């Protein structure tokens, strides 16, 4: 598998799934631009582990208005400096907060606002900016990291997360259908639990979470990285618009 033709911006790449995606893409020859929110030290460590295949580090708080468009514009400028047109986007960054409908009003309102800003508005703005450039280039790739919750919903105290990821999945399908004529390929991943910092640590919760997974364990970040790298490779363009479930058969459609 060869990704030497790929120059990709990966959001939320300072740790966990995003870092694994960046490393795997670079392993196959892609040039990567890493986005992070505030943890510069972790982002630098990921960049160092990748070496010269990492061509840039960018910080942007995706909860802020216009952050997605600003991030894409900065990534394009970095790509120009290394003579590598930006032709890949992986929307990986995301947050999950409690938005309990039975909780207090402030928690509900603040949680929905932050989650929608980071999980939906920023990725949508990034996709929009990418689509404009991709139409000119007649080529481009978008991968949106959604969630099992996009399809089956989530627990009652996390409705905003499920809604944001469900909307992102619908956006991905729309892009795949509407922009294919412009040479754009768009894919979605819908993982269940991934073995990252966001996974439960309470023993009882952890036990229950794993009990519903027939395979018996959470997905590993390296699995997500490998699948993203494959989708960026152009080895199966007819899969555009597809959603790839990575959940150990805990939700089979």
Listed in sequence order, the residues at least 6 apart from 99 whose beta carbon sits closer than 8 Å to its beta carbon are 107, 108, 111, 112, 115, 157, 158, 159, 160, 161
The answer to whether residues 136 and 181 touch, using CB atoms and an 8 Å cutoff, is no
CA 62 to chain centre: 13
User: Rg (Cα) of the chain, in Å, rounded?
Assistant: 17
Cβ-proximal residues to 81 (8 Å cutoff; 6+ apart), any chain: none
134 is catalytic: no
Measured CA distances, 99 to 9, 64, 66, 76 (Å): 30, 20, 24, 35
Which is catalytic among the residues 28, 134, 161, 187?
Answer: 161
Angstrom distance (rounded) from CA 44 to CA 31:
16
Report how far Cα 18 is from the mean position of its chain's Cα atoms. 7
| Residues with catalytic roles | 161
């Amino acid at each position: 598998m060869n990704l030497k033709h790929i120059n990709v911006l990966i959001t939320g790449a300072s740790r966990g799934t995003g870092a694994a995606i960046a490393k795997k893409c670079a392993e196959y020859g892609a040039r990567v631009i890493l986005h992070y929110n505030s943890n510069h030290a972790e982002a630098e460590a990921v960049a160092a582990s990748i070496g010269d295949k990492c061509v840039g580090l960018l910080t942007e708080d995706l909860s802020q208005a216009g952050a997605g468009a600003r991030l894409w514009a900065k990534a394009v400028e970095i790509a120009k400096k290394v003579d590598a047109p930006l032709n890949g986007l992986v929307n990986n960054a995301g947050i999950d907060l409690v938005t309990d409908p039975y909780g207090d009003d402030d928690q509900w309102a603040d949680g929905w606002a932050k989650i929608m800003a980071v999980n939906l508005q920023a990725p949508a703005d990034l996709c929009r900016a990418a689509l404009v450039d991709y139409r000119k280039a007649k080529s481009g790739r978008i991968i949106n990291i959604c969630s099992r919750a996009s399809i089956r919903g989530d627990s009652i105290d996390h409705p905003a997360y499920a809604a944001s990821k469900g909307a992102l999945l619908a956006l991905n399908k729309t892009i795949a259908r509407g922009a294919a004529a412009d040479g754009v390929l768009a894919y979605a991943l819908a993982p269940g639990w991934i073995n990252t910092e966001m996974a439960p640590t309470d023993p009882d919760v952890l036990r229950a979470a794993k009990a519903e997974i027939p395979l018996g364990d959470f997905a590993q970040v390296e699995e997500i990285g490998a699948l993203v790298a494959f989708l960026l490779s152009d080895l199966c363009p007819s899969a555009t618009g597809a959603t790839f479930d990575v959940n150990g058969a805990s939700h089979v459609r």
